[in-house]
Amino acid sequence: MNDEICRNISLTSLRRLPSYLRYLKTQRDNGIDYLSSIIIAQAMELSPMVVKKDLSIAIKVEGKPKLGYHVDSLIKDIEMFLGYDNKKDAVLVGVGSLGKALLSYEGFKNYGLNIIVGFDKEVNEPAILDKKILSIDKFSNLTKRMNIHIGIITTNKEAAQEIANMMVEAGIKAIWNWAPVKLSVPEDIVVKNEDLAASLAVLSNSLSDHQIGGSI
């Protein structure tokens, strides 16, 4: 599709990059300077070839024969590729239990995501930790003014589509959807569905008679 400079990174490779990153950081903190694909593969329970392939596609840094990859450079490269270097601001709509959890989840800042503020129809609390909760009326105005392009939907399924429409209107380009519905959006808008039911299906299936092959 887009065959210019950018290499063709597969979805499966892309999903593995964050776990490489986690592993590399722990090793760096242990004082390790170089890591080979073989060592990384062992730790991640993958084949070395998968690791080499993933890194060769996503990364510019070249590994040194006999030594492996320079850990620091590798981390920087992966972070740059994933866009973790420039913090991305996001807004969240639906401050129920799930919304609160995401608002208070500390881990996102490690991944370059910064949830600025939460919105809801009725504001019961002024803030979750340091994140303010605002009325949904203020969504469009604030989002446009702050030039935010990522929206997180943690409403119930009934409200989700309406919120999505509002987000699109307000200039949101990527939606992380936690509501169990299929959203209809213009095709230039990216939607990533976090489908808890699908995850459960995989787990549940593993416990029944007809397992799928391989690991999950």
Partner DNA sequence: ATTTACTTGTGAAATTATTGACAAGTGTTA
Partner DNA sequence: TAACACTTGTCAATAATTTCACAAGTAAAT
Nearer to DNA among residue 106 and residue 197 (C-beta): 197
Nearer to its own copies among residue 134 and residue 175 (C-beta): 175
Nearest by Cα to 152 from 118, 184, 127: 118
Q: Say whether residue 53 binds DNA (CB under 7 A).
A: yes
The single residue among 19, 47, 104, 110 that binds DNA, judged by CB under 7 A, is 47
The single residue among 22, 26, 33, 38 that binds DNA, judged by CB under 7 A, is 38
Window 3 to 32, contacts with DNA (CB under 7 A): 8, 10-13
Q: What are phi and psi of 86, to 5 degrees?
A: -100, 110
- In the complex, least distance from residue 29 CB atom to DNA, rounded to whole angstroms: 20
Q: Say whether residue 65 binds DNA (CB under 7 A).
A: yes
Q: What are phi and psi of 60, to 5 degrees?
A: -95, -35
Q: Say whether residue 201 binds DNA (CB under 7 A).
A: no
- In the complex, least distance from residue 49 CB atom to its own copies, rounded to whole angstroms: 19
Window 95 to 134, contacts with DNA (CB under 7 A): none
